[in-house]
Amino acid sequence: MRGWGGDLLENLIHREEIGSTNDDLKKLIRFGEVWEGALVLAERQTSGRGRNGAAWTCEEGKGLTFSVLVRPHWPKERWGWVSLAAGLAVAEAMESLSFSPQIKWPNDLLLKDKKFCGILVEAMGDDVVVGIGLNVKGEEKSFPEGVEATTLEAVAGYECSREQALERVWRNLGQVMKRQPEEVAEAVWERLAWRDEEILLLNDGQGETGVIRAFGSNGELQVEVGGELRKVSDVSSVRKS
């Protein structure tokens, strides 16, 4: 059966090589060839994209690069929560495999303060493409110098299955998307990196310190700066202090 109630295999569109799974899924949406829960998985991406125009690279066979079609049942003015919901879906899936990840707002996933998963969410009409890059295998030293990244295996110290991680994330994404944004907010807050800690807010080259205190109504950060709460929507402005 196609959709969240079925098996992953019935929802899987497998590509050996593709530019970007997000772009491929968007093309399928344009042609009306997909359904909620459809997942495009690529063994190789030739132009994998991250946020803010960055590239996303993944050594073949080491990680997972895939995109899932979700149709949020929330009003569009609450779609800011989809990013956080996707991060939560990955976090809970990893918890079911005995990891203890943190969510770095809005949707990076950290293990021991190092990124192991990045998420790129792109809306298209009533559809949302959730693109996920997850580092499963390999050592930390395989990442370029200066990149603070890790993999499931590097943290666990034992072999991890890409198939199992993929299945858990996909199934849990379907579950999380059925919840209300308030429930998502609470669960993300429990797992939020730098929660109630001092952070650096960058604005036009200027840095100010603040403390992350809460979420806004659409998943923005509420940061306390000089005794007042400030709404922060720009991910590139938040740094660890």
Interface residues toward ligand BTN, by CB under 6 A: 20-22, 45, 48-51, 54, 56, 65-67, 108, 118-120, 131-133
- The nearest distance, CB 42 to ligand BTN, in angstroms, is 7
Q: How far is the CB of 117 from ligand BTN (least distance, A)?
A: 8
Select 160 or 225, whichever has its Cβ closest to ligand BTN: 160
Rounded least distance, CB 46 to ligand BTN, Å: 10
Q: What is the DSSP letter of 235?
A: G
* Beta carbon nearer to ligand BTN, 50 or 216: 50
Closest CA to 48 of 152, 114, 119: 119
Peptide bond into 101 cis (omega under 30): no
Q: Buried b vs exposed e over 57-75: b needs ≥16 C-beta within 10 Å?
A: ebeeeebbbbbbbbebebe
Residue 29 and residue 58 in contact, taking contact as beta carbons nearer than 8 Å: no
Of the pair 44, 214, the CB lying nearest ligand BTN is at: 44
Q: Which is nearer to ligand BTN, 48 or 210 (CB)?
A: 48
d(CA 122, CA 137): 27
CA distance linking residue 68 with residue 41, whole number of Å: 9
Nearer to ligand BTN, 66 or 170 (CB): 66
**Both tokens of residue 31?**
């042609």
In the three-class reduction of DSSP (H, G, I as helix; E, B as strand; rest coil), residue 30 is classed as helix
State how far the alpha carbon of 113 is from the alpha carbons of 7, 24, 133, in Å.
Answer: 33, 32, 17
> By beta-carbon distance, which residue lies closest to ligand BTN?
118
CB-nearer residue toward ligand BTN: 113 or 186: 113
Q: Shortest gap between Cβ of 173 and ligand BTN (angstroms)?
A: 13
Pairwise CA distance, residues 136 & 199, whole Å = 29
The minimum distance between CB 20 and ligand BTN, in angstroms, equals: 3
Q: How far is the CB of 222 from ligand BTN (least distance, A)?
A: 23
